[in-house]
Chain A
Amino acid sequence: MKTKHLRLMQRAYVVLFFAFMYLPIAYMIVFSFNQSKGYSLFTGFTLKWYASLFSNASILRALWVSLEVALISAVIATVLGTAAALGIASMGRKSQLIVTNITYIPVVNPEIITGISLMLLFVAYQKFAVGASWLPDTIMGLPTLLIAHIAFNVPYVIFNVSPKLRQMDIHLYEAALDLGCDPRQAFFKVILPEISPAILSAFLICLTYSIDDFMISYFNCGTVETLPIAIYSMTRKKVSPEIYALSTIMFMVILSIILVSNAMESRRYRLNQKATREDA
């Protein structure tokens, strides 16, 4: 009897918890269709905020910048980080420890510190570049954004790929060499396929972090606006349901990506199950 009581309370608690987590999202979805700009009264259904969002040139430009920066920085970070993970794996224990600890710095440091420290570096560079005429002295903008994004993404690549390298069976590589591969071939035919899932997931992590980042971009973007920065400058002005419309679209895109990938996953799972059953 007592456990039944407890279970009921548990249920209620979880429901309340999810209500709390989804309240702002539900609110934004509902009020993105609201006729008036008010906060509390739903005065009628409209799609005009969506229409004005799509004619908002600064938002569309910011979206494009975000995608561009995310893609380029994720590619570079993945290559740099994977090479680093391979190199680190062949180093001695002590130097591995030192490198790992320094790599941890951008992960554990508050984002605002990473942001301002890079900004100070770029400011110092600009002071230096004024004196040296052969250097470009206006780098604030896309170049600094890219450097900043690569800088906070590389550690995630290393921490994703390194464990996979440690788990890998080294005998496979030796077998490939024994069977006549040269080290290059052995790398591309044995090691790379083995670690490619980790590389891919690292790449996806970089993409999502990069698209979502506000803090670090904020200090290093110059006059260029990424989507989060455009959103921030919108929120500084008066409340506009355009932002709700944007949120609703983003939520729907994310939801459908997750649902599709989940459906594919469970489909593959079921097919596997079926295959093993038929084998038996």
Chain B
Amino acid sequence: MKIYDKKLAYPYFVWMALFTVIPLLIVVYYALTDGEGNFTLDNLLAISGYGSVFARSLLLALIATVICLILAFPVGYFLSRLRVNKQHIMLMLVMLPMWMNFLLRTYAWMGLLSVNGPVNAVLGFFNLGPFNMLNTSGAVVLGMVYNYLPYMILPLYTSMTKIDPSLVEAAQDLGANTTKTLFRVLIPMSVPGICTGITMVFVPAVSTFVISRMLGGGSNLLIGDLIEMQFLGNSYNLNTGSAMSLVLMIIVLVCMSFTSSFDENEMEGVS
């Protein structure tokens, strides 16, 4: 039975067409034309000159995603095994730093990592350093991990709460050791959470420009930096910028279809 009127959604359809679909079509249009509006593939071909930046973005985002997964897995498991009222408090504690503007959090890392900052001061106490940690690709990865870690924890936690504790006990009763329980029970059953977490960390990490600019100095350009420079920076060129954005979109789409296909395969295996 239809109790509402379809017409209620019409304003949204107009909105969606104007501000979701058409803008993306304009990106495609700019990516495939030159300044005069003639069709060209030069913008896309010109990207090959930035191959190293694209490779760096993918690599750093990938490293950050893997580190997030490794760090988040035990936390998600720990949270999911707590009593329910404790779970809420702990989740709140995980989420609380996220409520701070991420520019401010990243800015704090700039101070923490600087040559005469607290981290080096502590290391100096043990007669280590001082290290030049700021403006390195390591600092960029650290910034990504720090900012996006909760995006990994939450989906992992959600799928782990659905794992029956007796399954883990059964595995152990049947002679599986900790490693075996981990790889044969816990990880396979957390696959939906792992897949969601990977996309939720990888997508913002591969497209950021703030983290690389604040923690990477000028020497660790990422795709996001390139795009930003084409639209608002010194190398103003909407066509090249659109072509880069198009490639970034394709990268993200490939990544997501990869994780979601993995997810579905696993689900079929389970049922």
B214 in contact with A235 (CB, 8 Å)? yes
Q: Is the CB of A84 within 8 A of B20?
A: no
- Contact (A108, B203) CB under 8 Å given A21-B97, A21-B149, A40-B120: yes
Q: Are A119 and B231 in contact (CB under 8 A)?
A: yes
Task: Tell me the nearest residue of chain B to A118, going by C-beta.
Answer: B23
Q: Is the CB of B23 within 8 A of A121?
A: yes
A25–B97 touching, CB < 8 Å:
yes
Q: What residues of A have a CB within 8 angstroms of the CB of B144 in the complex?
A: none
**Whole-angstrom distance from the CB of B16 to the nearest CB of chain A?**
6
User: Which of B38-46, B48-56, B107-115, B184-192 lies at the binding interface?
Assistant: B107-115
**Are A116 and B99 closer than 8 Å at their CB atoms?**
no
Q: Are B249 and A87 in contact (CB under 8 A)?
A: no
With contacts A25-B97, A83-B11, A246-B104 taken as known, whether A121 is within 8 angstroms of B19 at the C-beta atoms is yes
B30: A residues at CB distance < 8 A: 120
B10 within 8 A of A: yes
* A263–B204 alpha-carbon span in the complex (Å): 34
- State the Cβ distance, A83 to closest chain B Cβ, in Å: 4
Is B99 a contact of A83 with CB atoms below 8 Å? no
Q: Is B207 interfacial (CB 8 A cutoff)?
A: yes
Q: At the interface with chain A, which of B159-167, B240-248, B263-271?
A: B240-248
What bracket does the count of chain A residues touching chain B fall in? 35 or more
Whether B101 and A89, one on each chain, are in contact in the complex, defined by CB atoms closer than 8 angstroms, is: no
Q: Are B96 and A254 in contact (CB under 8 A)?
A: yes
**Could you tell me the dominant secondary structure of chain B's interface residues?**
helix
- Chain A binding site: helix, strand, loop or mixed by DSSP? helix
**B133: interface (CB < 8 Å):** no
**Which residues of chain A come closer than 8 Å to B214, judged between CB atoms?**
235
How far is A215 from B203 in the complex, measured between Cα atoms in Å?
Answer: 14
Which residue of B71, B74, B104, B116 contacts A247 across the interface (Cβ within 8 Å)? B104
Least CB separation from B115: chain A residue: A39
Q: How far is the CA of A219 from the CA of B18 in the complex (A)?
A: 18
CA distance A112 to B207 in the complex (A): 7
Bound-state Cα–Cα, A40 to B248, Å: 39
Is A141 positioned at the interface, with any CB of B under 8 Å from its CB? no
Write out the residue numbers on chain A whose beta carbons fall within 8 Å of the beta carbon of B83: none
Docked-complex contact A88 and B9, CB < 8 angstroms: yes
Interface residues contributed by chain B, number (CB under 8 Å): 79
- Residue among A38, A191, A250 making CB contact with B104, cutoff 8 Å: A250
Contact between B178 and A86, CB atoms less than 8 A apart: no
- Interfacial chain A residues near B107, Cβ < 8 Å: 231, 235, 243, 247
Residues of A within 8 A of B4 (CB): 86-87, 89-90
Task: Tell me whether A112 and B224 are in contact in the complex, defined as CB-CB below 8 angstroms, given that A80-B12, A120-B26, A120-B30 are known contacts.
Answer: yes
Tell me the chain A residues, 102-116 only, with Cβ under 8 Å from chain B.
102-103, 105-106, 108-114, 116
With contact pairs A120-B238, A219-B231 given, residues A239 and B97 touching in the complex (Cβ less than 8 Å): no
Q: Contact between A151 and B231 (Cβ–Cβ < 8 Å)?
A: no
Q: How far is the CA of A54 from the CA of B245 in the complex (A)?
A: 39
With the chains together, A39 CA to B120 CA distance in Å?
10
Instruction: Out of B3, B5, B238, name the residue touching A173 (CB < 8 Å).
Output: B3
When distances are taken between beta carbons in the complex, the residues of chain B under 8 Å from A109 are 249, 252
Query: Given contacts A27-B112, A40-B118, A255-B96, are A228 and B249 in contact (CB under 8 A)?
Result: no
Which of A6, A120, A147 has the most chain B CB atoms inside 10 A of its CB? Answer: A120
Contact of A214 with B20 in the complex, beta carbons under 8 Å:
no
User: Of the 9-residue stretches A12-20, A44-52, A199-207, which lies at the interface with chain B?
Assistant: A12-20
Other CB < 8 Å A-B pairs besides A231-B104, A250-B100, 4 of them?
Answer: A99-B16, A120-B27, A154-B12, A243-B104
Write 17 A-B pairs (CB below 8 A) sorted by A numbering.
Answer: A39-B116, A40-B117, A83-B8, A90-B3, A91-B6, A110-B207, A117-B245, A170-B3, A174-B1, A191-B3, A228-B103, A231-B101, A232-B210, A247-B104, A254-B100, A255-B96, A262-B89
Question: Which A residues form the contact surface with B (CB < 8 A)?
Answer: 6, 10, 13-14, 17-18, 20-25, 27-28, 31, 38-40, 80-81, 83-84, 86-91, 99, 102-103, 105-106, 108-114, 116-121, 123-124, 147, 150-151, 154, 158, 170, 173-174, 183, 191, 208, 212, 214-215, 218-219, 227-228, 231-232, 235, 239, 243-244, 246-247, 250-251, 254-255, 258, 262
